[in-house]
Amino acid sequence: MPLKFKKLPLCFYNNDTEKVARELLGKKLVRVLNNKRLSGIIVETEAYLGSTDQACHSRNGIKTKRNASMYLPGGHAYVYFIYGMYFCLNAVTKSSKNAEAVLIRAIEPVEGIELMRKFKNSSKQDLHLTNGPGKLAQSLMIDKTLDGESLKGNNLFIEETGITYKKNEIIKTSRIGISKTNEACDWQLRFYVKDCPYVSKK
């Protein structure tokens, strides 16, 4: 099997969440629909650190119907509905004890761009298909039906690419969309590829 079609092993996800978030940059997110591949290179992620992280859905160990997938073992998908209209995709990491995950915020489209355009129904430039968590979910047809799915399955997974970034090519900042009143609003858990036009915000 050629390198470009290699799914990441479970041990990749069963690791320190911040490390997984950083190492997901350059990997390829793949969505398979009707035997067609929609994919893109991950260029922006954020880590969410479970019970101790007040910006995380599983803060203080709370478990609801919405965030139940965060308590699955590493290597599963957590897809949640936000602001009444968008879905966001996360990769669950580590054990089920502390419900940690990595939010995939932006990808650079590679395969199936025509279909992405169709699903998103947008007349704008392709840049806007996947440069944000809600947008990429829309373009790749990611919704609640994928919540809790294994990333070793056939519908949604992440592949090795051979792409690696040097330390000075990765920017580390505070997370997007966290309220200023949240004690975790300044935690440096967002990672993105420097000078990449496909990230959601600079």
134 binds DNA (CB under 7 A): yes
Token pair 């994928």 in the structure block, residue: 146
DSSP 91-140: EEES-SSS-EEEEEEEEEEEE-HHHHHHHHT--S-GGGGSSSHHHHHHHT
153 binds DNA (CB under 7 A): no
Nearer to DNA, 43 or 70 (CB): 70
Site string for DNA, 66-105 (x = CB under 7 A): xx--x-------x-xxxxxxx-x-x----------x-x--
Nearer to DNA, 8 or 99 (CB): 99
Nearer to DNA, 65 or 167 (CB): 65
Do 43 and 198 contact (CB within 8 A), yes or no? yes
Q: CA-to-CA distance for 102 and 151, rounded, in angstroms?
A: 13
Q: Which stretch binds DNA (CB under 7 A): 18-26, 32-40, 126-134, 150-158?
A: 126-134
Q: CA-to-CA distance for 111 and 120, rounded, in angstroms?
A: 15
Do 133 and 45 contact (CB within 8 A), yes or no? no
Q: What is the CA radius of gyration of the chain?
A: 16
Site string for DNA, 28-67 (x = CB under 7 A): ------------------x-x------xxxx---x-xxxx
Question: Where along the sequence are the contacts to DNA (CB under 7 A)?
Answer: 46, 48, 55-58, 62, 64-67, 70, 78, 80-86, 88, 90, 101, 103, 120, 122, 128, 132-136, 175-179, 181-182, 200
